[in-house]
Amino acid sequence: MPRVGLVGLGYWGPNLARNFDDLGALAAVCDLDAELRDRAAARYPGARIFSDYDEMLGSGEIDAVVVATPVPTHYELSRRALAAGKHVFVEKPPAMRASEMEELVSVAEGRGLVLMPGHLLLYHPAVRKVKSLIDAGELGEIFCIYGNRQNLGVIRKDENALWSLGVHDLSVILHLLGEEPNEVWAHGNAFLTPGVEDVVFCYLRFPSGRIAHMHLSWLDPHKMRKITVVGRDKMVVFDDMELERKVTVYEKGPWQPANTYGEWRTRTGDIFSPRIPNDEPLRLECSHFLELVERGPGDHVEARDGLAVVRALEALQSTLEQVRA
Ligand SMILES: NC(=O)c1ccc[n+]([C@@H]2O[C@H](COP(=O)([O-])OP(=O)(O)OC[C@H]3O[C@@H](n4cnc5c(N)ncnc54)[C@H](O)[C@@H]3O)[C@@H](O)[C@H]2O)c1
């Protein structure tokens, strides 16, 4: 079993610590905050506790690092871990610039190390189900995908809605379509904190002609975490707010009856919800990382997918700034 060292025990880190500990892989934890270190020491008596990240990297007690610190530190901490020969699982987004992520991917590839960004939704059984429906051709030709990620709060001051919320939908949209956009636009506004957009609308167009949209906001009356895929034959909705019906398939679509001489009609059939396993996405994500460390990074698919997400985020951000200027 690979030995994992986790850096960052704030809000999200303890979830990762719990999962890696349950999987028998948590060997060390590190945080700058003494109180958080004490709490972790009490909960995980078998793990070594560090206040200094480089000391943990040099301790010889870990094979892999999990980075759960604030986003601006991701690139630097991941870079140092790869330089020390450690496999890396880095929380989303893995870097704030595409050039930084390109460098991390190239180091990981050069050294044969795993670099896995924490795009949690890719391990969600419902997203896996939607992907399998698309790949099996069940929905027919895909026309468009749109994501809704809205709520009232949490209001961030150092990360806009695109980077904080959009990273989730973007990782799923690129995964489902299997291509990178060649045209992107983001429009939004910063109503509460100067320079930090609270509401962002994004448009993406892909080389295949498929299009996507994302509505991202923490100033909204609706709590929505939904992704809708519109295909020629069927349409499917992944609604993460639903407890039981996470995925709904609509047998609806356009059609051209032979006797209407080219006129379009619509067709409505059954609506059903496939059974989705109840597995915790974070557990599946942590297990996948350990598997990669054990069997090797292969074609570095996870790292390259992470790069595609950062590239799209950067392109969307630059259009947001053009509009702002
Ligand atoms: N996948 C998800 O759904 C999800 C959800 C929430 C947060 N996250 C991600 O998790 C990461 C952490 O978010 P958070 O809300 O827990 O942040 P946080 O601010 O609550 O915690 C970060 C912790 O990192 C520690 N830290 C920072 N620099 C350090 C260093 N050099 N050495 C040691 N410790 C250091 C801080 O002391 C702090 O305890 C972010 O990247 C965020 O995007 C992911």
Q: For residue 196, what is the domain's CATH number? A: 3.30.360.10
Does residue 239 carry a pLDDT above 90? yes
Supply the pLDDT for residue 262: 85
Q: Which atom of ligand 1 is nearest to the CA of 119?
A: 1
**Residue 155 and residue 263 in one domain:** yes
Residue 79 sits in a domain whose CATH number is 3.40.50.720
Other Cβ atoms less than 10 A from the Cβ of 134: the count is 21
Which residue segment(s) compose the domain that 152 sits in? 122-278
User: Is residue 6 within 8 Å of residue 118, measured between CB atoms?
Assistant: no
> Which protein residue has the closest C-alpha to ligand 1 atom 6?
12
Does residue 255 carry a pLDDT above 80? yes
Q: Which atom of ligand 1 is nearest to the CA of 167?
A: 43
Q: Last residue of a domain, which of 63, 95, 118? A: 118
**Residue 273 and residue 150 in one domain:** yes
Supply the pLDDT for residue 241: 97
Tell me the C-alpha to C-alpha distance, in Å, between residue 132 and each of 245, 270, 274, 301: 17, 19, 12, 18
> What are the φ and ψ backbone dihedral angles of 188, each rounded to 5 degrees?
-170, 180
**Residue 94 and residue 126 in one domain:** no
In the chain, the percentage of residues whose pLDDT exceeds 90 is 96
Mean pLDDT of 208-212: 98
H or E stretch at 151: strand 142-152
pTM, full prediction: 0.96
Does residue 259 carry a pLDDT above 90? no
Q: What does the buried/exposed string (b/e) look like for 50-72 if buried means 16 or more CB atoms within 10 Å of the residue's CB?
A: beebeebbeeeebbbbbbbbebe
The verdict on residue 47 lying in a domain is yes
The verdict on residue 293 lying in a domain is no
Mean pLDDT of 246-258: 94
Does 40 contact ligand 1 (Cβ within 6 A)? Answer: no
The verdict on residue 323 lying in a domain is no
**Residue 101 and residue 232 in one domain:** no
Mean pLDDT of 7-20: 98
Does 171 contact ligand 1 (Cβ within 6 A)? Answer: no
The verdict on residue 59 lying in a domain is yes
Give the model's confidence band at 288: pLDDT under 50 very low, under 70 low, under 90 confident, else very high.
very high
> Which protein residue has the closest C-alpha to ligand 1 atom 2?
120
CA distance 107 to 82: 7
The verdict on residue 309 lying in a domain is no
Domains: count for the chain: 2
Strand order in the sheet with 64-67: 48-50, 26-30, 4-7, 64-67, 87-91, 115-118
Q: Last residue of a domain, which of 53, 88, 118? A: 118
**Residue 252 and residue 106 in one domain:** no
CA distance 109 to 112: 5
CA distance 167 to 173: 10
**Residue 158 and residue 224 in one domain:** yes
Does 73 contact ligand 1 (Cβ within 6 A)? Answer: yes
Supply the pLDDT for residue 130: 98
**Residue 39 and residue 106 in one domain:** yes
**Residue 159 and residue 246 in one domain:** yes
**Residue 68 and residue 185 in one domain:** no
Gap from CA of 131 to ligand 1 centroid (Å) = 29
Give the model's confidence band at 325: pLDDT under 50 very low, under 70 low, under 90 confident, else very high.
low
Does 261 contact ligand 1 (Cβ within 6 A)? Answer: no
**Residue 260 and residue 136 in one domain:** yes
Does 10 contact ligand 1 (Cβ within 6 A)? Answer: yes
Supply the pLDDT for residue 46: 96
Q: Which atom of ligand 1 is nearest to the CA of 36?
A: 39
> What are the φ and ψ backbone dihedral angles of 317, each rounded to 5 degrees?
-60, -40
Give the model's confidence band at 324: pLDDT under 50 very low, under 70 low, under 90 confident, else very high.
low
Tens digit of pLDDT for each residue in 83-96? 999 999 999 999 99
Q: What is the mean pLDDT of the chain?
A: 97
Q: What does the buried/exposed string (b/e) look like for 284-294 if buried means 16 or more CB atoms within 10 Å of the residue's CB?
A: bbbbebbebbe
**Residue 109 and residue 133 in one domain:** no
Give the model's confidence band at 323: pLDDT under 50 very low, under 70 low, under 90 confident, else very high.
confident
**Residue 113 and residue 132 in one domain:** no
